[in-house]
Amino acid sequence: MAYVWLFASIVTEVIATTALKSVNNFTAPIPTAIVVFGYAATFYLFYRAIETIQVGVAYAIWSGLGMVLIALLAWMIHRQALDTPAFIGIGLILSGVVVLQIFSKTAGH
């Protein structure tokens, strides 16, 4: 169940961070509400995840997957440019998360 909490935390953080681009100095009510409630949900869900998963491992997965998803959403939604080195970096981040999950004994399987 801890990885469900962690995945949900990643999703809410990605949604909140993506909405942050549209808050217009916090005057746009819907994007602002998404950001505020999204980050509140993110930290609650992350707290639930680290009740079981080691905080260092959970944070590595959370931040790594969050960075990848936000970069890809910014590319798709906001048309922010990603070049070849950016895609290579994204691949390396994903590789690191996979190595941590599959090969590390600290991941707490």
Q: What is the DSSP letter of 50?
A: T
pTM of the full structure: 0.84
With H, G, I as helix, E, B as strand and everything else as coil, classify residue 26. Answer: coil
> CB within 8 A of 99, min separation 6: which ones?
none
CA 11 to chain centre: 6
26 contacts 19 by C-beta, under 8 angstroms = no
The length of the chain, given as a count of residues: 109
pLDDT tens digits, residue range 36-45?
A: 999 999 999 9
pLDDT in tens, 48-81: 999 999 998 899 899 999 999 999 898 888 888 8
